[in-house]
Structures are given as structure tokens and as C-alpha cells.
């Protein structure tokens, strides 16, 4: 349960982005639920990896992402634009059905490179 202290909510279960490298790919996993309260953490990590000269491709792994709101969609757009400016690839990987549906409804599915692994198809 979240508690309020002053104007700030303290949420001990707030998920954190997870980072791993595979060759020249930075893979950022966003497990759990992502909204206004933690989207900035994802945005910071995405922008950091786009600025990393050793990284050619930034992948946002959505396999274990249960929920995103509009602030996270904005984070993805920021990542895409920053990647384009820096000559990098930006990919959303394995979005769950509800996330993919949000991307389709908003028209963003056409803007992003979306990778679906064989395991996700099953």
C-alpha cells in the first residue's frame, strides 16, 4: 500500500527499469506497471543509452510490462526521436496484447519498430 508524505507519494513497490547489454544493443526491461510516477526513470535510462557511443540499438523489452499510461507513451516517443537524431535504432520488443492494443489505438504502432519473438507468439 502506498503512503502519502507531504505532496509526494512513497511507493515501495515502484518497479525500476532493468538494463542489460548484448553486443551493441542496450536492452531495457520495464517489468510491472509503468505510469507518471516511474516513467521518468525509464526515460532517463533510454536517453542515457541513446547517448552511449557503444550502443547502436536501444531495445525496450515489454515482455513483463503489465500496464503503461500516456506518460510512458511520451517516453517512447522521446526515445524514438532521440534515436533518430543520433542515428540509432529504437525498438519495442514483445509488448503484451494490452500494450500492443494501446499502441495500435493511438496510431503509434506504425511509428515504432516492434519486434515479436517466437516465444511471445505462443
d(CA 73, CA 89) in angstroms, rounded, equals 17
Give pLDDT, residue 9.
54
Domain ranges of the chain: 26-117
pTM of the model: 0.86
Whole-number average pLDDT of the chain: 90
pLDDT above 90 (res 31): yes
Q: What is the CATH number of domain 26-117?
A: 3.30.750.24
pLDDT class of 120 with cuts at 50, 70, 90: low
Distance between CA atoms of 114 and 99, rounded to whole angstroms? 11
Segment 18-46 shows an average pLDDT of 96
Computed from CA positions of residues 101, 105, 110, 112, in that sequence, does the dihedral angle turn out positive or negative? negative
pLDDT at 100: 96
CA angle centred on 46, ends 104 and 97, rounded to 5°? 25
Tens of pLDDT, residues 81-97:
999 999 999 999 999 99
The reported pLDDT for the residue numbered 14 is 82
Amino acid at each position: 500500500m502506498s503512503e502519502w508524505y507531504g505532496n509526494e507519494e512513497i511507493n515501495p513497490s515502484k518497479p525500476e527499469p532493468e538494463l542489460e547489454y548484448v553486443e551493441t544493443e542496450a536492452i531495457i526491461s520495464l517489468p510491472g506497471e509503468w505510469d507518471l510516477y516511474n516513467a521518468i526513470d525509464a526515460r532517463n535510462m533510454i536517453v542515457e543509452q541513446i547517448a552511449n557511443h557503444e550502443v547502436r540499438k536501444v531495445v525496450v523489452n515489454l515482455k513483463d510490462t503489465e500496464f503503461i499510461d500516456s506518460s510512458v507513451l511520451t517516453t517512447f516517443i522521446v526515445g524514438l526521436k532521440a534515436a533518430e537524431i543520433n542515428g540509432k535504432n529504437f525498438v519495442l520488443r514483445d509488448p503484451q496484447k494490452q500494450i500492443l492494443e494501446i499502441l495500435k489505438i493511438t496510431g503509434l504502432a506504425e511509428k515504432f519498430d516492434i519486434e515479436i519473438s517466437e516465444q511471445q507468439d505462443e
